[in-house]
Amino acid sequence: MFPITPAVIAAAVLAALVGPAQGETRVERGRYLTESIVACGNCHTPQGPDGPLPGMALAGGLKIEDKPFTAYASNITPDKATGIGRWTDAQIIAAIREGRRPDGSIIGPPMPIGLYRDLSDSDVRAIVAYLRTVKPVRNQVQKSAYRMPLPPSYGPPVGKVPDVPRADKVAYGRYLAGPAGHCVECHSPPGPNGAPDLANKLGAGGFSFYGPWGTSVSTNITPAGIGRLSDAELKKVITTGVRPDGSRLKPPMGVSYYARMRSEDLDAVVAYLRSLPVR
């Protein structure tokens, strides 16, 4: 019989705490993040009247209009002429976490660089590894126009960023809803400079989004806004876009991506939202 030693018990406990994501390859982790909570395609895949354009996944071109800018999401497929195919891994990571392209130019909003700076080293490398595997699409995207000054940088170079322990459900939920999924950015009202006020009104809702659907306003995701929803109801809203009263959420809520989230990740996000100060 296999001996039950303290080391065996510790390994079993760790496996139970970490969950089924353990053992996945770097590309598998990157695919999961990109196609679920990070939802890169929600901005970087061009849309038609019936949804994402076939054969154009992550090829860029989606127009995002706001008062201070007219932004066009970039092509992040491995196409060497119009995408990121000639960029090194380090250059792609710098673009994601530091908002700096290889030519030194700064990436503007709505790319949530301030939050992406805290993407863990392993997760950002996994996303890059996955992007290398997607179909290259030649699609030249026009430059974004900013009617506001862009910062010279978003801060000093990002150093090492460790993984957040998944056993700490609230901390991991904070990571998923913040640096990974940037839920808190969309769901925080604008501050004096027009950017989401993450310092004082985190999760309080009230940010407006303009698009073909008209105008949508983000909801309050602190306990003041979601306190009456059960965990099951809240998860259904996140993954289906349907509220308990039957009404539906409008874009840019990435429901089709969040529907792919693992149950343990949804649990972590809900636990974190429950922990937010009432706004």
- How do residues 227-271 score in pLDDT, each as one tens digit? 999 999 999 999 999 999 999 999 999 999 999 999 999 999 999
Q: Where are the domains of the chain?
A: 22-163, 164-279
Element (H, E) at 216: strand 214-217
Class of 22-163 per CATH?
A: mainly alpha
Task: Return the number of other C-beta atoms located less than 10 Å from residue 145's C-beta.
Answer: 11
pLDDT at 15 exceeding the cut of 80: no
Confidence band for 9, pLDDT divided at 50, 70 and 90: very low
Residue 51 confidence (pLDDT)? 86
Instruction: Reduce the DSSP state of residue 71 to 3 states and report it.
Output: strand
**pLDDT of 171 strictly over 50:** yes
Q: Rounded to an integer, what distance in angstroms lies between the CA atom of residue 98 and that of residue 91? A: 10
Coil/strand/helix, residue 199: coil
* CA 226/CA 1 separation, integer angstroms: 51
| Domains 22-163 and 164-279 belong to one CATH topology | yes
SS3 15: helix
Provide the terminal-to-terminal Cα distance of the chain, rounded to the nearest Å.
Answer: 57
Mean pLDDT, residues 5-32 = 62
Q: How confident is the model at residue 34 (pLDDT cuts 50, 70, 90)?
A: very high
10 Å Cβ neighbour count for 238? Answer: 21
Residue 166 sits at φ, ψ, to 5 deg, of: -75, -20
pTM metric for this prediction: 0.91
Given a cut of 80, is residue 122 above it in pLDDT? yes
Tell me the CATH number of domain 164-279, given options 1.25.40, 1.10.760, 2.60.120, 1.10.4030. 1.10.760
> Quick one: three-class SS letters along 146-206?
ECCCCCCCCCCCCCCCCCCCCCCHHHHHHHHHHHHCCHHHHCCCECCCCCECCCCCCCCCC
**Mean pLDDT within 180-204:** 94
Give the pLDDT confidence score for residue 22 in this predicted structure: 65
Of residues 213 and 97, more confidently modeled: 97
Average pLDDT, the chain: 92
pLDDT confidence of residue 6 = 42
Alpha helices (H) in 99-162, listed in sequence order = 113-116, 121-131
> Rounded to whole angstroms, how far apart are CA atoms 12 and 14?
5
